Chain A
Amino acid sequence: MDVTLTVNGRREQVEVGPAETLLGMLRERLRLTGTKEGCNEGECGACTVLVDGLPVDSCIYSAAATSGRSVETVEGLADDDLGRDLQAAFVAAGGVQCGFCTPGFLTTLVAVLRENPEPSEPELREALAGNICRCTGYSQILDAVAATISGRNRR
């Protein structure tokens, strides 16, 4: 079946299978390989992308369900002010080590900070509960978010 959707602001028409995942469609058909496959069962958050602004695990999200919707991946964050700030802050704070979880963290954080530009640390930790990082211990990621928020407030 054909689905027509917007990916990172670009209109796409893609042929997908009935049980195909959004992750498969992005990586295999659209060659947007920034989105990573981790657990493939909605546990680790590495594959997080935004669908109509909401962070979803693309590995368990139906590709067909994206019909008419807007999908944002880590590739699209280069054109997003908040996405760029977060990426720079991740690099500066050491929030990226092996990097496999990073696209998922960035997309989740973009959604969270768009809704609430200044979450408290407990709110932030709860919002990030679905993103697993095995390298950083999370502290540097939280530092990067704090730096992003204070940097944006100064501007």
Chain B
Amino acid sequence: MELSTADSVDAALDELSRRGERCRVLAGGTDVMIQLARREITPEHLLHVERLGELRAVETEGSTRLGALVTHRDLAVGRLGPGYAAVAESAATVGGLQTQVVGTIGGNVCNASPAADTLPALLVHDAEVTLRSVRGSRTVPLAEFVVGRRVTTRAPDELLTTITLGRPIPRTGDVYLKVGRRSAMEVAIVGLAARLTFDGTGVVTDARIAVASVGPRPLRSVGAETALVGGTGDAESVHAAAKALLQDVDPIDDVRGTADYRRRVIPGLLGRAVRVCAERAEG
């Protein structure tokens, strides 16, 4: 195995184009270094991209664009500004401070863990990911990029460079809630992000609900979203939304919790998320 450090995005793309599948991209390393130690991955080459300062930028004028190397800590302290509470809250629950200061958003997306905290938060903000290669550039919705448990549609020569989020909308509240056995250093048993937009009379006009750790990949529940729109976040619409959400998930039993437990906590979690969104939309 060998390692090289890319000093420009173009140089990184050249390297990826030459080496393809034999190459593993190393950013903060909080996942890759563990996978190497466990011999879960055995690449011929490690391409260290973490020095590419241009991929650390956050743009909030116009659309919100963040470079793939923006760290969880950057997000947790609110670098995206108001309107993205769910993203900040999800990033703040990724490991501890030590993980957050080096772990990157691009890494969390490409690792595509079923339990990835940031993915539901990005999904409720209509995230799109931009991938570059020597062949060109493409931008795809996050929901079409993460397609299975630890599976993305990234081609071996592509580098995820940018994540673009929808603009903040007035009278909107968003939140990320996580169920774990303890409040710190937990892999989610269930993670749930919500973003609700209300009209002047308190009726939900737009809803986004996404969950993690309840299926092979984090996903949005269009059924739950539809059930919430037109209601006021009342018990009845939340009940209908929870029912729809439970139809969209496919949890398993694992060391952290049973499938049955995951199903049981979802309705309460959704109800809490709706209440927090309503409060934040007013504030």
Contact = CB atoms under 8 A, between A and B. Distances in A.
Given A1-B3, A65-B29, A67-B5, A129 B97 contact: yes
A62 interface: yes
Contacts of B2: 1, 18
Contacts of A127: 97
A129 B29 contact: no
Contacts of A64: 3, 5, 48
Given A41-B34, A62-B29, A48 B98 contact: yes
21 contacts: A18-B1, A18-B46, A43-B185, A45-B96, A48-B98, A55-B101, A56-B102, A59-B33, A61-B29, A62-B3, A62-B29, A64-B48, A65-B29, A65-B50, A67-B5, A126-B92, A129-B97, A130-B95, A130-B99, A130-B184, A130-B185
B36 interface: yes
Contact of A56 (B36, B46, B101): B101
Interface string B78-101: 000000000000001001111101
A62 B48 contact: yes
Interface of B: 1-3, 5, 26, 29-30, 33-34, 36-37, 46, 48, 50, 92, 95-99, 101-102, 183-185
Interface residues of A, number: 31
Given A56-B102, A62-B48, A65-B48, A21 B33 contact: yes
Nearest to B33: A60
A60 B96 contact: no
Contacts of B183: 129
Centre residue among B29, B48, B185 by max chain A CB count within 10 A: B29
Contacts, number: 87
B97 A42 contact: no
B184 A129 contact: yes
B30 to A, nearest CB: 6
A60 B97 CA distance: 14
B34 A55 contact: no
A45 B98 contact: yes
A40 B35 CA distance: 12
Given A19-B36, A64-B5, A65-B48, A54 B101 contact: yes
B46 A60 contact: no
A57 interface: yes
Contacts of A56: 98, 101-102
Nearest to B46: A18
A87 interface: no
Contacts of A17: 1
A127 B92 CA distance: 10
Contacts of A35: none
Interface string A61-82: 1101101000000000000000
Interface string A127-151: 1111110000000000000000000
A15 to B, nearest CB: 13
Contacts of A132: 185
Contacts of A43: 95, 185
Contact of B98 (A19, A42, A65): A42
The 6 A-B pairs at the shortest CB distance, nearest first, are namely A130-B96, A129-B184, A18-B3, A60-B33, A54-B101, A57-B98
